[in-house]
Structure 1
């Protein structure tokens, strides 16, 4: 008989609920900051299923900061698919191609973006990516508790200063109480935590699909091509084929109506028939590994925070897979939140800083959901029946990846006007507050790095070579506010290999840029001010949520 004994498991700084991609990313980023965290996941193990595929450049920058970029690129799927690119249409895999996705907004995954980023796409399956993150979390000392389900959450602790979670070990039935300062809900699109908080999750359902995972040697039909996806349209099937290893492991996406054809109707025989039709090989004998349903939806939570509980990943937003934004958006949620929790827990930031998580991530996530929807609806033109141009509101891929701009209490208010662009995105951020700090090739200690490699566990003040006043101001402000602050001079200890520092960061040789631990520009000063210390202190106080300090 299962035990129903309730005991206290442990007290932690942060409890992460959900052991998928967003939850594991959160745990890794928190542990890198030195935060004591515990992760609970109701499933006994990671699924390993090749669901999402591909980590876009901004998310790979964050994986680089987590120390796992090369490990991800060494995963079997990432190695095997390293040369794949493009989306095509055909009557079947064996038949001639009918067209390609060739739109101005699409940036090929193989495109050289070396001027924009130190890294690029990794076509790694989500299952393998989760394995990498789990290993990294364990090496960083994160306590992972699989087969452990959350029963309830209580925020009614003393003065609202803690969260009490009740969990159950699904193997033994033992119930435990966990006390944490904060809780991060990464428990998926049907988040029980979000529902318990009463946070609306409005949006629309775009369609229902079945992923048929199968094995069959289609090397001959693939014919040396290396596409990412092939949409197939014929009398027997309308779907999309995705190579998983370019030879004998594939996914077939199929549209289905759960009201008229239950999942049980996708028997191994029916799935095999559909695979044969999609492949264009009547005598093919595929091995059907699984048939998994999924819903394509577009939803954004009305708030990413409820008290001391924060939503990340699919618990906060869901979007169709077109564009490959979904999982990478969840990684960015985790990274944005982790340093803020760390700064508050360590005492060098006011709890007001945490308000900026919702202020920043919700508008960008909602806009990303919209972009995924527009791309999804644009895909219907691939069958040749729609000749209208792409929707004018579709933003170029590179802008969605790298060129968002936050407006929040944790960045200096924009005083230069919004540069031309599309909503939260602009191609002309150039180091403006709220934007991602630009990639800059630097030489540090004889080794080439990216400016992005300087950011991580503390704010960074970047200056030009004439930085004596800034060094003095930084030492004084760091001491007065009790804040860790690193200072680097571009042109002194850092060599600008391409001489692009003033252009990319919008400052002179006497100016400075304050960058947050997540690599977002918090403030900049184009030239040396008269009162350097006071100017820097004011910017730092705003960043830390200490607006009233003097």
Structure 2
């Protein structure tokens, strides 16, 4: 095989929010990366609109949460409103819990912001090389790594990159997934959709009732930026090439309003999960692994959680304190989450359409429609906290009661009224995200986690002597009041993975130095 032009430890394919987050995470771990993106620049379109609480926790860990919030809408925009037309009164509304106001379950709240505001912050968060207008065309794996064939879309020049691993975050039409022959399951393409970015004077209709999305019979309207700008999302008309976009948007807005169209983007709403997330040294993340319908804002956030799960594992293998088998736990842990998220997004869509359908039926009867209709979901439905914060992992990277076990730990299933996965009950059981607790007035338990394992214990003196090399480990004091909330005895301890999930727990300090080492070896697959 010819020699490669460039050698890196991890090649990231795809420069959207998922790939850019992976680049920032891997740089924190000291992993040498190259990111390639086939487009000539970051996306100029708003696209994804919601950064949920879990993603903001990850961005807080990267020191980015304040910058993202500064460019985002105020919390009162964390709401969905249903109207017959944009200038009518609401006939239904629902809060995005975890976005519209602080929640006790997290030190942060999610935000409504446009992807074209998020991506520059993520790009600036790392110094690793990024090459735009460079497209992946082929992959070949051997015993020592992967050789990726790239083409510069400006010059036509070819480059070969040799990487120990490839992280493919190259979208729903992923070249990497197609080259690997990985099939997908799920509904597939659910319809052609068009996003029209436009300017219009709409402040008088919406100033007193802000929202992140206004869902109407004539499409969805979204304010783009705090200082102005709008998008209209609707099914793509049959003759899209010759469509009168200013006229279509203006008619959807109603009489007396003229829209100035700035950009038009056609896209397909996909709904699927890849049958595999890993093929040897190539791993799929984000839309390449699972395409989630936009209703509920789950897609991008699921991809960000993917790479938060994956990047510490890649770093461990690259740096030698983890075995290659640890990467198997990425698919084991994230594949069920993708399927559950897809089901949730489909349910979101069905419920939103049900609300609009009920309103149309009321209007078509000819009688006076009530000011409000009864929503087909609970007030907490769009929180989805059970799905966002309540994810529980079952894999070899989670141990029961501090030691290797042939049986997976018993993890309580979150309550799922009507199958929505809305409720979240904090728990420090192995496999779960460590609950948020304030260690000091401005420092959360989640702030204790980073490029290391964390041992949380009320009795640090009994644990600090335990040898942990070669694994990065910090010992953190957990106050007795917090230990009680975590059902942790005075000399017990919780071992937290770098992604914030509990990997083991002990009820007593172990009698010997080898117990912690054996646990870390089992979690990381290092023999």
TM-score (norm 1): 0.86
**Secondary structure, counterpart of 2:131 in structure 1:** strand
Is the Cα–Cα contact under 8 Å of residues 100 and 382 in structure 1 kept in the other structure? Answer: no
1:199 to 182, 191, 215: 182
Is the Cα–Cα contact under 8 Å of residues 83 and 215 in structure 2 kept in the other structure? Answer: yes
**d(CA) in 2 for partners of 1:246, 1:428:** 34
**Secondary structure, counterpart of 2:464 in structure 1:** helix
Is the Cα–Cα contact under 8 Å of residues 419 and 429 in structure 1 kept in the other structure? Answer: no
1:182 to 165, 183, 207: 165
**Do residues 516 (structure 1) and 497 (structure 2) align?**
yes
Question: What's 1:18 paired with?
Answer: 14
1:355 deviates by: 0.7
**Cα distance 1:532–1:441, how it changes in 2: closer, same or farther (>3 A)?**
farther
1:130 to 97, 104, 119: 119
Question: What's 1:213 paired with?
Answer: 197
Is the Cα–Cα contact under 8 Å of residues 206 and 296 in structure 1 kept in the other structure? Answer: yes
Is the Cα–Cα contact under 8 Å of residues 404 and 425 in structure 1 kept in the other structure? Answer: no
**d(CA) in 1 for partners of 2:455, 2:45:** 43
**Secondary structure, counterpart of 1:524 in structure 2:** strand
1:323 deviates by: 1.4
**d(CA) in 1 for partners of 2:144, 2:323:** 14
2:132 to 127, 146, 156: 146
**Cα distance 1:228–1:448, how it changes in 2: closer, same or farther (>3 A)?**
closer
**Cα distance 1:13–1:425, how it changes in 2: closer, same or farther (>3 A)?**
farther
Question: What's 1:3 paired with?
Answer: none
**Do residues 71 (structure 1) and 67 (structure 2) align?**
yes
Question: What's 1:227 paired with?
Answer: 211
After superposition, residues 102-121 of structure 1 pair within 5 angstroms as 107=97, 109-113=99-103, 115-121=104-110
After superposition, residues 350-499 of structure 1 pair within 5 angstroms as 350-385=323-358, 389-390=376-377, 397-413=384-400, 414-416=408-410, 418-419=412-413, 421-422=415-416, 427-443=424-440, 448-464=442-458, 466-473=459-466, 476=467, 478-479=468-469, 482-491=470-479, 499=481
1:418 deviates by: 3.0
**Cα distance 1:341–1:108, how it changes in 2: closer, same or farther (>3 A)?**
closer
After superposition, residues 60-99 of structure 1 pair within 5 angstroms as 60-75=56-71, 78=72, 80-99=73-92
**d(CA) in 2 for partners of 1:7, 1:415:** 46
Question: What's 1:173 paired with?
Answer: 156
1:376 deviates by: 0.9
**Secondary structure, counterpart of 1:83 in structure 2:** helix
**Cα distance 1:81–1:372, how it changes in 2: closer, same or farther (>3 A)?**
same
Is the Cα–Cα contact under 8 Å of residues 59 and 332 in structure 1 kept in the other structure? Answer: yes
After superposition, residues 156-305 of structure 1 pair within 5 angstroms as 156=142, 160-204=143-187, 205-233=189-217, 238-245=218-225, 248-256=228-236, 261-266=238-243, 270-280=244-254, 282-305=255-278
**Cα distance 1:337–1:213, how it changes in 2: closer, same or farther (>3 A)?**
same
Matched residue count: 501
Is the Cα–Cα contact under 8 Å of residues 511 and 525 in structure 1 kept in the other structure? Answer: yes
Deviation readout 1:427-477 (Å, 9 max, x if unpaired): 34511111111111113xxx731111111111111111x33332222xx2x
**Cα distance 1:376–1:243, how it changes in 2: closer, same or farther (>3 A)?**
same
1:82 deviates by: 4.3
Deviation readout 1:517-545 (Å, 9 max, x if unpaired): 1111100113334x353432332122111
**d(CA) in 1 for partners of 2:228, 2:248:** 16
**Secondary structure, counterpart of 2:499 in structure 1:** coil
**Cα distance 1:428–1:244, how it changes in 2: closer, same or farther (>3 A)?**
closer
**d(CA) in 2 for partners of 1:245, 1:111:** 19
1:293 deviates by: 1.6
**Cα distance 1:54–1:389, how it changes in 2: closer, same or farther (>3 A)?**
closer
Is the Cα–Cα contact under 8 Å of residues 6 and 162 in structure 2 kept in the other structure? Answer: yes
**Secondary structure, counterpart of 1:199 in structure 2:** coil
Deviation readout 1:191-240 (Å, 9 max, x if unpaired): 0100110111222133321111111111122242211211222xxxx211
TM-score (norm 2): 0.89
Is the Cα–Cα contact under 8 Å of residues 470 and 532 in structure 1 kept in the other structure? Answer: no
Q: Which range moved further: 243-252 or 361-370?
A: 243-252
**d(CA) in 1 for partners of 2:333, 2:522:** 15
**d(CA) in 2 for partners of 1:389, 1:83:** 22
**d(CA) in 2 for partners of 1:188, 1:543:** 30
**d(CA) in 2 for partners of 1:243, 1:274:** 18
**Secondary structure, counterpart of 2:433 in structure 1:** coil
**Cα distance 1:162–1:420, how it changes in 2: closer, same or farther (>3 A)?**
closer
Is the Cα–Cα contact under 8 Å of residues 85 and 216 in structure 2 kept in the other structure? Answer: yes
Please, what is the CA RMSD of the aligned residues?
2.4
**Secondary structure, counterpart of 1:60 in structure 2:** helix
**d(CA) in 2 for partners of 1:467, 1:219:** 56
Q: Which range moved further: 247-256 or 286-295?
A: 247-256
**Secondary structure, counterpart of 2:25 in structure 1:** helix
**Secondary structure, counterpart of 1:145 in structure 2:** strand
**Cα distance 1:180–1:88, how it changes in 2: closer, same or farther (>3 A)?**
same
Off by >6 Å, runs of 4+ in structure 1: 423-426
Question: What's 1:55 paired with?
Answer: 51
**d(CA) in 1 for partners of 2:78, 2:460:** 45
**d(CA) in 2 for partners of 1:92, 1:395:** 22
**d(CA) in 2 for partners of 1:17, 1:265:** 34
**Secondary structure, counterpart of 1:335 in structure 2:** helix
**d(CA) in 1 for partners of 2:414, 2:185:** 30
